[in-house]
Every structure is written in C-alpha cells, then in structure tokens.
Structure 1
Amino acid sequence: MARRDPAERTRRRFARRQWARRWLALRYVAAVVLLVGLVAGGAWLVYFSSWLSVKGVDVDGVDLLSAAEVRRAAAVPEGEALARVDLDRVRSRVEALAPVASADVSRQWPDRVLIEVQEREAVAVVEIGGQLQGMDADGVVFRDYARAPADLPRVETGSDTGSEALREAALVVAALPADLQAKVDHVQVATVDEISLDLRDGRVVEWGSAEDSDLKARVLADLLEARRAPYYDVSVPGQPTTHG
C-alpha cells in the first residue's frame, strides 16, 4: 500500500480542525439565536399576547363599599397585558375613595388583578352641614349615618373648625380607654388646642390638645375616682385642677 504524502495528511488534519472550529462557531451562533428567540417570544407572550391579558378584577376586604365601586375606581383596563398594568396607579385610584384607609394591588397570573382593601373604622360621629358622618382615628370623615351609633362618641364643632382640629379631636377619642369613653356624651372642638369632653353626667373636662392624651386619660381616671367636681382640667397633665 502506498504511503500518503505527509503534506496531504497535514492538509487533511488542518481541514478537519477548520471544520470543527466552524461547527463550534455555528453551534454557538445557533444557541444565541435560539436564546434570543426564546426571550423575544417570552416577552411578546407576557407583554403583548392576549393569552396573559386581564380578564377580571377580584376585590377583598370591603364592607362599606361594594366590589363594583372599587372596580370602577380602580379602572383596570380589561384586555391589557397583565404585566403592563400599572399597579401603583390602580392603588392610588382605589385609595382616593374616602372609606379606604389603604389598598394592596397584585397580579394573579395568568389573567387577573387582586385588590385587597383596608377600610377606615369610625371612632366618632361628627355633624357637618346637618349630616351625621363617621370619622376615623386620623380625622378623616368618610361615611354618612342616618342615626348616630350608640357606641360612638359625638364630636361637636364650630362653624370655623378646620380639618386639623378635627384630626386632633379624633386622636383624643382614639386615646380614650373604653371605660372612660363610655362616660363621654360628646367631644367639643374649637381649635387644635381647645378640646373638651362633656360627660354624660354633666361634668366637663378641659383636655387641651391631643398631645399626651394617654397620660391625660390616666390622670382623669384618677381624678374622677378621687374627687367629684363639675369641671376638670387635664390640659397640663402634670398639674391637673378641678373647679366648683
């Protein structure tokens, strides 16, 4: 058998190495093209395909509001890709509803939005413009009453009482322990620094502002037990006084 020319063998080995390098490069290019295709396809599926578009909105945690009212306020565009829904804007629109203290909005794959609502809780009733309204611990007026609930203290205001004074009054009411709150007929609010409690038995308590309300409540409880008087002043809780 004739021996192959060494130069021929060298050329063949060189050609095989060249082909192997080309094949490796082609495989790398094919893998990159496949990966790009998968990413592009996945992005299209998530952001533009109707397969993962919004088909409904679920609402939890409502009592004062109806689920339909929350959905209308949320204005989630059905048919839009779920991944493209701006959850922060939806939350802001829901939280603009007066009875809503906070809301949490999340995506529920593959095709729904969930809105979880925390509603405000009334701590007092205030009459504004002849209408009885519920006020929460932040002083936000958020609901109407045909008749004042018996278990809520009433807040009475002047014609020029501002929202900041209402907030102070709400903080005072929220700080009252249950046994003391039961003794209160109504809370009188003039300004942020002029808040008083009118008790059910006719006695009056000058409270001042909402500052140190927890301490004022403890001091008042001791005063009511130790001394009966028509007028109590705990606006400076370190130096309480009584009159009459």
Structure 2
Amino acid sequence: MPFRPRRDSTFLRQRRALRWRAFRIFCWRCAGWLLLALFLVAIHDVFVQWDRYNVREIDISGNRLIGREEVLDVTGLKGRINVFRVNPFLLAKRLRDDPRIKSADVSINWPDRIRIRIVERTPLAIIRMDPPVMIDVEGACFQASQKPSQRSLPEIEGLAPSDFPGPGTPATEAYQETMNALIAWTQENVYLTFENIDRIRVDPDIGLTVIPKQAISGLNVGQIRVGYHFYSEKSAMLEHVIRYMNQIHMNQAIEWIDLTDMKRIVLKPAGADSAEAFRKEK
C-alpha cells in the first residue's frame, strides 16, 4: 500500500506553511502594485489639473490654404487644455487626413507650448466644377481656397468627376493629358507658364485650348490650341512664332494659334476669315 502521511504529520504542516507564505507574498505584491497605481493616478490628476501645464501658446506654421481656426478645429485645441491631455501623434494624424495637407508634425514644448508644422499641397490649377476644387502635381484634389493668392491660378474647364481615376476605374485621356500639361508647364525655361495662362479648356476630341491672361511678349492672342501631347515642344514652338511675328512687326491681334499639328502652325488674325488664316510649315 502507498504511504500516506498523517494529517498532523510534520510534512503536511510544512507544506501548509509554505502555501500560506506564498499566498501572503502574493497579497503583499498585489497591494504594492495597487498602491503604486493609485499613487500614479493621483500624480497624473495633480499634473492634469495644474494650471502650470495649461496650453498658453500654439505655434502654427506652413498653413496658407488652411486658416488658423480651421487647424484648431481639426486638432480640437480650443479652450482650456492641459498638455498632458494632448496626443501629438493623434493630432498629426487628424491633420494628415485633410486632403489639403501633405504632411504634418505636432510637438510639445514643455511646459505650456505646442508647435504644429504643416506642409500643404501646392495647387497647380482650379478645376471648375460644383464645387470648384484645386489639384496638385500628384493629382490630389481638395477644396478650392478663396484667398487672393490662390485666385490667380489658371482655371480648368471641361473636366467632370467621371474623368478622374477611382477604385478600379482608370483616368480618362482628357484628365491624364491635362495633368501632363500642368506638369510640363511648371518646368523651368518653359515659354508657356502659369503666369500667362488664364484658363485651360479641355475637350475630349480636340484636346487642350489655352486662354492667355494678357498679351504674350506684346502680342495679343485670344486662344492657343495645344491639343494633346508634346506640351514642352509646343511651348517652344509658340515662342518661335511670337518672336517671328515681333520681328516682322506684326502688331495685329491674333484670334487663335493652332499648335495641334507640330508639323504645321496655323494662326488667324483678329477679324480675318478662316480661309485667310496664316500657315507656317515646320
């Protein structure tokens, strides 16, 4: 038969003592952790309610399209706020969710200052639709700004929401070629730039037509028919045409210049019939 110790044996008493000792150690440890947690909560409450750590200054930089009040609305930094309640990573994420913002960084300068650094998207043009939107070099669209500095951007007419790329839907040729033209006309040493472009009309069949803001090198031009493709080359061709017309002292206003076919440049003086349009073979 197996050996079974008696209930009052020394072995059982020692085992019960060890179990009781382990239980007391566990209880003391739990009590210690509980007291530490209560102490930390109390310290946290003291700092959170301490006026010394209330936000007194919010420094925002890099915002041109977005006003200061909009930034404060998005981040929720309004009213009496303690810096210990501010989560910089969450605030930066909220700012980056705005389509007008490319990147954002939020930091705390202890004890009472918050710095917000914003990098906005740079709009290239305003697309006329309902409501109007701005577009940047990456094709990101965002709400159009009413600030005077943004009203000088060229306007694009003829694009519809169906032209834009979407999930599982590629962009139309009209949209893609408009983006190619915008990117080409932002390059350096390009004759046709945003400084002399007022509007860009987009037609799926004939391509792009540019409406200049003012006289180009002293020559009044009503329209420049660019078509599709080779935008930098066509800009250079336009420069040669304008220089040639200035050399021959042609001061008559031009109704339109057609650069659609790179092998042939056609222009129509104001008031002339279509049959009288000038052609210059390349």
Partner of 2:93: 92
- Distance of aligned partners of 1:203 and 1:123 in 2 relative to their CA distance in 1, 3 Å threshold: same
1:25-81 deviations in whole A, cap 9, x for unaligned? xxxxxxxxxxxxxxxx99986897335855256142234433232112112596556
Query: Where do residues 102-113 of structure 1 align in structure 2 (5 Å cutoff)?
Result: 102-113=103-114
Other-structure match for 1:13: none
User: Quick one: distance in 2 between partners of 1:63 and 1:226?
Assistant: 37
SS in 2 for 1:188: strand
- Give the fraction of aligned pairs with identical amino acids, expressed as a percent: 19
1:70-81 alignment runs, 5 A limit: 70-76=71-77, 79=81
Matched, 1:221 2:219: no
Query: 2:132–2:143: 8 Å Cα contact kept in structure 1?
Result: no
Give CA deviations for 1:139-181 in whole Å, capped at 9, x if unaligned: 3233244999674222112445433455763553243156412
Structure 2 CA distance for partners of 1:81 and 1:168, relative to 1, 3 Å: farther
Paired AA for residue 224 in structure 2: R
- Tell me what 2:55 maps to: 55
Structure 1 position 195, deviation (Å): 5.1
Residue 190 to residue 67, structure 1, CA distance change in 2 (3 Å): same
User: Helix, strand or coil for the counterpart of 1:91?
Assistant: helix
Asked if the contact 1:155–1:187 (Cα under 8 Å) also holds between the matched residues in 2, the reply is yes
Task: Tell me, yes or no, if structure 1 residue 156 matches structure 2 residue 157.
Answer: yes
Q: In the alignment, which residue of structure 2 is the partner of 1:207? A: 228
CA distance in 1 between counterparts of 2:46 and 2:176 reads: 47
Q: Call closer, same or farther: CA 1:230–1:88 in 2, change over 3 Å.
A: same
Return the TM-score normalized by structure 1.
0.57
1:169 aligns with 2:178: yes
Cα distance in 2 for partners of 1:106, 1:159 equals 40
Q: Which of 245, 249, 258 is the equivalent residue of 1:231? A: 258
* CA distance, structure 1, for counterparts of residue 115 and residue 148 of structure 2: 34
Name the CA shift for 1:150/1:44 in 2 (closer, same or farther; >3 Å).
closer
Q: Contact between 2:83 and 2:108, CA under 8 Å: does it hold in 1?
A: no
> 1:126 is matched by which residue type in structure 2?
I
Would you say how many aligned residue pairs link Structure 1 and Structure 2?
Answer: 192
Q: Greater RCO between the two (CA within 8 Å, min separation 6)?
A: 1
The answer for unaligned runs of 5 or more in structure 2 is 1-38, 166-170, 213-220, 243-255, 267-282
Q: Which residue of 1 aligns with 2:102?
A: 101
Displacement after TM superposition at 1:132 (Å): 4.4
Amino acid at match of 2:109: Q
Q: Which amino acid aligns with 1:66?
A: G
SS at match of 2:228: strand
CA RMSD of aligned residues (A): 4.3
Q: Any conservation in 2 of the 1:203–1:231 contact (CA below 8 Å)?
A: yes
- Amino acid across the alignment from 1:90: L
- Given that 1:102 and 1:117 are in contact with CA atoms closer than 8 Å, whether structure 2 keeps it comes out as yes
Question: Residues of 1 paired with 2:148 and 2:71: CA distance?
Answer: 26
1:217 offset after TM fit, Å? 4.2
1:149, 1:137 → 2: CA distance?
15
Shift in alpha-carbon separation, 1:66–1:172, aligned structure 2, 3 A:
same
Q: Which amino acid aligns with 2:237?
A: L
Unaligned runs of 5+ in 1: 1-40, 209-215, 235-239
In structure 2, the residue corresponding to 1:180 is in which secondary structure?
Answer: coil
The answer for the alignment partner of 1:242 in structure 2 is 264
Q: CA deviation at 1:185?
A: 4.2
* C-alpha distance 54-163 of structure 1, shift in aligned 2 (>3 A): farther
In structure 1, what is the equivalent of residue 33 of structure 2?
A: none
Corresponding position of 1:123: 124
- Does the CA contact (< 8 Å) of 1:204 and 1:231 recur in 2? yes
